[in-house]
Amino acid sequence: MNSDKYDIAVIGSGPGGFTAAVRSSQFGARVVLIEKSFMGGTCLNCGCIPTKFLWQALKMKQKIQKSYEYGFKTFLEPIVFADIVAKKDKNISSIRKGMDLVLKSHDVTVVSGAASFKDKNTLRVLNDGNSTNIFADKIIIAVGTDPLIIKNLEFDRVKIIDSTDVLNLQKIPKNMLIIGGGVIGIEMATIFAGFGCHITLAERENKLLPNEDNEISEEIKKNLLRQDVEVLTECTNALDNLDNMDKYEKVLIATGRTPKGDLNLEKANIKITKNGFIETDEFCQTSTSNIYAVGDIAGKTLLAYTAQNEGAIAAENGVKGNSIKIDNSVVPQVVFAMPQSSSVKVSNFLNYKDIIFGKFSLTASSRAFIENERLGFVKCAVDKVTKRPLAFWIIGAHCDELVNTASQILKNGIKLSRETMFHPSFGESLFNAYEDAFGMCTEITRKKVK
């Protein structure tokens, strides 16, 4: 049996683990990164990146179909979905290679295999029947999560599929039932409906995106209905209000994620929550002082970019000692529907009592008119006393970029004014919504006082 000694061992190469490994090396540590599957984890291989590629392919299809509005005469040949999937896979492979080059440039050792704890400093790595022990002063866990299984409705990978399976379909199904009206369910409904699949989307709560603003949720539902998606809510059981499942060619279960549970955490005395996630403190440290956990497995936000942030924090704390705390006071979120939506608010938003709201419709935006992207709006919540923005809800083209600007406004407590100039673009809609909260937006018709 082989054995190796490192300063930092990172388990998992997703956004959190990859960032943790590179940052640890940047601080001078001898680092090993252990990955049992493909480099990049869920985000790159069966999550964010492939989903956004298919979404972008759909967006390109729609642009070609609407190019006549700019005076072009075009013809879109019949689509071969397998060709799109093959291009998606090629792009993912290229990104993987780029990640390998980054790791190599930082002298990070990459070990293939499934890691589990023998004790708080020792990992056993299994790969094709071979076993290796890896010793490390500090260990960072970044293994992510798996799709959640509904009781009595397990995946058969043919008809009943998960979010990984659906991204590898070689042809568009005639119809598909999607169980779960969260981010994953909505994005898959958007993509596959856009390519010609009849979608039934079922959510057990009384609205899509149960934790989102009601107005955003309702607008997403309207846009899905425009794409001929059948939307069912208040399905208290996965199959309530649904006809015979035999009529669906595919059934996609998109009801959430569950933590991976094959690490033998008890061998390192690592505490977990009642839901199976690893308990961590503000330093990303677990109940065992030399072990950290980041990303989905820690169960805080389950977002790739917060995992990256946590990975960087855990790396610095692991190498230099605990000094940096997680700050999730402002976390943007995006849903790639058609059009996409995004939102961001200060973490203590509900504590504010004296709030006023402004709203700016993209139908009043000249830039949106030029781009033929007039669906959507920006809504802004403002503290009436300090006049500082507290939240933005955005639905419409480019909102995945606009929310970054909105996040910086909230993070830095910026009070917007005419001196905060926005170039005439989609970005000015943030300011217009803010001004509307005070009845001062110059770009929309005057509101009549009742």
Q: Torsions phi, psi of 83, nearest 5? A: -65, -40
Which residues of the chain fall below pLDDT 70? 1-3, 237-244, 418-421, 448-450
How high is the pLDDT of residue 245? Answer: 78
Question: What would the two tokens of residue 359 be?
Answer: 């709203």
Q: Quote the pLDDT of residue 240.
A: 57
Q: What is the pLDDT of residue 449?
A: 56
What tens digit of pLDDT does each residue of 188-212 get?
999 999 999 999 999 999 999 999 9
| pLDDT score of 155 | 87
Q: How many residues does the structure list for the chain?
A: 450
- Compute the distance between CA of residue 138 and CA of residue 325 in angstroms, rounded to an integer: 18
Nearest partner of 40 among 31, 49, 32, judged by Cα: 49
Measure the CA–CA gap between 197 and 251, rounded to whole angstroms. 12
Cβ atoms of 142 and 65 within 8 Å: the answer is: no
pLDDT at residue 314 in the model: 98
Q: Which pLDDT score is estimated for 1? A: 45
Domains of the chain: 2-146+258-320 (3.50.50.60), 160-255 (3.50.50.60), 333-436 (3.30.390.30)
Residue 344's CB is within 10 A of a number of other CB atoms, namely: 26
Pairing of strands 250-253, 160-161: parallel
Task: Provide the 10 A C-beta neighbour count for residue 277.
Answer: 18
pLDDT of residue 3: 60
Q: How far apart are CA 171 and CA 166, in angstroms?
A: 10
Would you state the pLDDT for residue 18?
98
Q: Give the amino acid at 91.
A: N
Tell me what pLDDT residue 419 has.
Answer: 67
pLDDT of residue 86: 98
Beta strands 130-141 and 122-127 are antiparallel
* Strand bridging mode 341-345 / 389-395: antiparallel
